[in-house]
Structure 1
Amino acid sequence: MTNPSQAQTQSQAQTQSQAQSESQSTKVRYGIIGVGNMGSGHAELLRSGRIEGAELAAVCDGSAERREWARQKWSGVPVFETSADMLDSGLVDAVLIACPHYDHPSEAIQAFERGVHVLVEKPAGVYVKQVREMNEAAARSGKKFGIVYNQRMNPLYRKLRELISSGELGEIRRTNWIITNWYRPQAYYDSGTWRATWAGEGGGVLINQCPHQLDLWQWTIGMMPTRIRAFCQEGKHRDIEVENDVTAYAEYANGATGVFITSTADAPGTNRFEVTGDRGKIVIEDGKMTFWRLRVPESQFNAENEIPFASPECWKIEVPHQGESPEHAGIIRNFTDAILRGAELVAPGEEGILGLSISNAIHLSSWTDDWATLPLDEELHYAELKKRIDASTYAKKNVRAASRPADLSGTF
C-alpha cells in the first residue's frame, strides 16, 4: 500500500516530468543524492538562481528524518527515499552525489547506467580500486562526469598552475605544503557515529579534509609522485581511530621532491604552499602569492659562476590579487555549461583518482612501514584497509547531534 508521502512524491514527479520535458535542452535538472551538510548546501545554490541553466528537480535521502526536513525546506521539490527511484522518475538529467564517501562510486555507476550525468562530491571514493570502476562506467556512458574540486576555481591556484605550465618557474625541484589549519575539536568527531572511523569514512584528515589539497598538489605542478614514504599518527590528541596527523615525503620522476604535512589538532594552524623551480620560488600563504624570481635560472647561474658563496640575483614579486573564488557555485556552473554548451570541465570526474591515489599511497606507506610506489598497488591497499575495518574495536563514547552549518564552508 502506498503511503501519503509516497503518493505525493509520485504525483509531483509525474506533473513536473511532463512540464519540464520541454525545457531539457535549455536547463539541467539536478537531483541531489544525500541532503546532509553538503547536499543541502548544493540544493540552496541551485535554488538561489546563481547557476544559470540549472535547477533543483528532486532530492533523495535514506533517512526519514532528512526526507521530512527536505519536504518542509523545499516545498514542491519531489523527495525520494532511494536514488534508484529518483533516477527512474525521469525528473533529473544530472545527479550531484553528496552521500557518505564509500557510496560515491556505486551511486555514480548506477546513474551512468541510466544515462544520467554525474557530479560527485570529493573524495571520488575511499579507495582507488572502486574509483577506477566508476571511471570505467563513466567512459562507457558517454555522459558528463565532474567532481566538486572547488579549489580548482580559486584564482590563486589557477595562477600558480599557469605560471608553472608556462615555464615561468622553470623545472620543478621541490614542493612543500603545510596544511594544518584543519582544526577539529573532539566535539566535531563526536557529532556522528560514522566520523573518523575506518568503516564509516575509510580514513581521517586525508580522506575528509585534505582531498582538495592533495588534488591541487598534483594539478598545479602537473605531475604525480613516483613513490611516497609517509607517517600517519592515528588518534593523536583525539579519541578517534583514524589518522589526524600526517607527514609524507614524495619523489618525482624528474628528481624533484615534496613534503606534505597536515593535522587537525594544531592551533593555530598553517596553510603554506611553497613550490621551488629552476627559476625561483612561489609561495601561497594567507591568501597571497609571492614569486621570488631569479634573474637567470639557477642551473645557468651555477654553470657560469666562479665566485665562492655567490648566489643568483633574485627579485621579490608580489603577484596582484587574482579576484574572488567562485568555489562550489563555479564548479556547478562549469558542469552545467559543459552539459548545455560543451564547455571544458575544470574538474573532470576521472581526475578524482589522482589525488585519491596519493592519499591511498600515504596510508599504505604508513601501514606497511615502507615506500609506496605509484601507480598504486590497489589490491594491497584495499586488503590493508579491509584489515583495519575488520579488526576495529573502536566505539564512540559520546556521540552528539551535529549542528547544521549555514553554508558550504567548513561542513566536513
Structure 2
Amino acid sequence: MKKLKIGIIGCGSIAKHRHMPEYHASSGAVIAAVCDINEERANVFAGLYGAEVYTDYRELLANKDIDAVSVCTPNYLHAPISAAALNAGKHVLCEKPMATSMEEAKDMIEAASKNGKKLMIAHNQRFVPSHKKAKELIAEGEAGKIYSFRTVFGHGGPEGWSADGKESWFFKKNQAFIGAMGDLGVHKTDLLRYLLGEEFTEVGAFVETSAKIDADVDDTAVCVLKTESGVIGTLAASWSYVSKEDNSTIIYGEKAILRLEDDPVHSLIVQYANDDTVKYELGGIQTNEEGGQKNSGVIDHFLESILNEQEPAIPGSEGMKSLQVILAALEASETKQIVRIN
C-alpha cells in the first residue's frame, strides 16, 4: 500500500504530542517533512522521524512529493497556510480554530473545493468514545426531547503545555486572535453541534481576562447558547482552573440526564427519570496532563478520508459553523447584546 507523505507545518506542542506520534503510528503515512521558523526545533523532529527540514512553509509546499500537511501553527496563520497548501495540491488537516474570521474560513473551503482536496479541522472531541455513545443515545431518542445542557472546558492555561511556556503565542492577540474561547471553547461549540444535531441561532457571552494579567486575550469565558429548536445551555471555557482539567458536558432531556466525562471512572453516566442509572466505562478523554499519548482518532480519520476518497467527518464547512459561534460570542461580549447567528 502506498504511504501518504506528510508535511508538518509548525513543530510546537500539538504537533509533538498529537500529530507526529499519530502519523508515525499509522500504517498509511510517513512524516516526510517538518517545518518551523525555529530551525533548532524542526531539526529535533526531523532527526526523530527521518524527515526533511524546512523553515519556510512555502518551500515545503513546493515539494511535489508531499501529499498532505498538518497545519499546527499559531492561530493567525491557520487560514493563509491552509489555503496556500490546498492551492499547492495538498490535502490539509488544520488545527482549531480554523481561522480568525468567516472570510478566511470561506477562503479555505473554496480552495479545497477548487483543487479537489480534503480539508479537515482537528476537532478531536467528536472522536471521544463517551461523546460518540452519547450522540447515538440522543439520536435514538433515549433521552427524549432535549431541554438544556452545560458544557465546560477548563485548565490552568497553555503555559504548562505550550512549547514556549509563559512566552507562548497563545497569550498574544496578534498571533492567537482569541484566548481560551478559541483554544477550548471552539471544541465545545463543535461538540454540542455534533451531539445535538442542530445549529445554534443565538449567543450571549461574557469573555474576560481575569487570571493571566500579562495576556491580551481572554482567559475566562461563559456563554449562553440557544439552538434552532430552542435547546438552551451554557458553555464555559477557561485557562483559570488551577487544579484538574474539567472537560465535562451534561445534557438534560425529558427521559434522562447524560453526564459525559463528569466522573473519573465512568466516562458516560445516564440517569433515567425512573431512577435507573447506567454507567459506561468507555475509556477517558485525552488530556494534556498525560502528554496526550492516547490516540485522538483525528489523524487516522484524516488519512482514511484521503485513502478512501471520502469527505472527512469535520470538513471546512463544519469547522466554520463551530467558529461562527465563537465569533458571535466575542461580538456578544463586546456589545453586551444577544447576537443572532444566520
Q: Same fold (TM over 0.5)?
A: yes
Q: Would the alpha carbon gap of residues 173 and 126 (structure 1) be closer, same or farther in structure 2, given more than 3 Å must change?
A: same
Unaligned runs of 5+ in 2: 287-293
Deviation at residue 156 of structure 1 after TM alignment: 0.3
Q: Partner residue of 1:261?
A: 236
| Equivalent position of 1:33 in the other structure | 9
Deviation at 1:190, TM superposition (A): 6.0
**Residue of structure 2 in register with 1:305 after alignment:** none
Structure of greater Rg: 1
Q: For the structure 1 residues 318 and 192, does the alpha-carbon distance in structure 2 shift closer, same or farther, using more than 3 Å as the test?
A: same
SS at match of 2:204: strand
Query: Is 1:176–2:155 an aligned residue pair?
Result: no
Are 1:277 and 2:256 counterparts?
Answer: no
The residue type equivalent to 2:255 in the other structure is R
Distance 1:186 1:94, change over 3 A: closer
Unaligned 5+ runs, structure 1: 1-24, 295-313, 376-412
CA contact (8 A) 1:290 1:316 kept: no
Give the match's secondary structure for 2:300. helix
Deviates more, 1:115-124 or 1:247-256: 247-256
Contact preservation (8 Å) 1:234, 1:243: yes
Contact 1:26–1:340 (CA<8 Å) still a contact in 2? no
8 Å contact from structure 1 (residues 29, 56) kept in 2: yes
Instruction: Find the partner of 1:120 among 67, 84, 94.
Output: 94
Q: How far does residue 274 in structure 1 lie from its aligned partner after superposition?
A: 1.2
Write out per-residue CA displacement over residues 79-135 of structure 1, whole angstroms, 9 at most, x where no aligned residue: 122222112221211111111111111111111112211111122122222112111
The residue that corresponds to 1:317 in the other structure is: 277
Q: Identify the residue that residue 308 of structure 1 maps to in structure 2.
A: none
Match of 2:317 among 343, 347, 350: 350
Matched, 1:150 2:124: yes
Offset of 1:328 from its aligned partner?
A: 4.8
Partner of 2:289: none
The Cα of 1:31 is off from its aligned counterpart by: 0.7
The 1-side partners of 2:152 and 2:15 are apart by: 29
> How many equivalent residue pairs?
328
Q: TM-score scaled to structure 1, two decimals?
A: 0.73
Q: 2:269 aligns with which of 290, 293, 299?
A: 290
Cα separation, partners in 2 of 1:194 and 1:110, compared to 1, 3 Å: same
* SS, match of residue 261 in structure 1: strand
Report % sequence identity. 26
Distance in 1 (CA, whole Å) between partners of 2:3 and 2:169 is 36
Instruction: Supply the distance in 1 between the matched residues of 2:217 and 2:91 (Cα, whole angstroms).
Output: 33
Separation in structure 1 between the aligned mates of residue 259 and residue 284 of structure 2, nearest angstrom: 18
User: Which digits, 9 at most, give the CA deviation of each residue in 1:40-80, with x for residues without a partner?
Assistant: 33223323xx2121111111222233334344444x42112
SS in 2 for 1:276: strand
Contact 1:228 1:373 (C-alpha < 8 Å) held by counterparts: yes
* 1:3-402 equivalences in 2 (<5 Å): 26-41=2-17, 42-47=19-24, 50-74=25-49, 76-180=50-154, 182-184=155-157, 191-192=166-167, 194-236=169-211, 238-268=213-243, 270-284=246-260, 285-287=262-264, 288-294=267-273, 314-323=274-283, 328-343=295-310, 345-375=312-342
Q: CA–CA distance in 1 between the matches of 2:295 and 2:81?
A: 20
Cα distance change of structure 1 residues 39 and 26 upon mapping to structure 2, 3 Å threshold: same
Contact between 1:331 and 1:346, CA under 8 Å: does it hold in 2?
no
CA distance in 1, matches of 2:48, 2:176: 28
Measured against aligned partners, the alpha-carbon deviations of 1:287-320 in whole angstroms (never above 9, x if no partner) come to 52221223xxxxxxxxxxxxxxxxxxx2332232
Deviation at residue 344 of structure 1 after TM alignment: 5.5
One-letter amino acid matched to 1:320: Y
My pick for the range that moved more, 135-144 or 91-100, is: 135-144
1:186 shift after superposition: 7.2
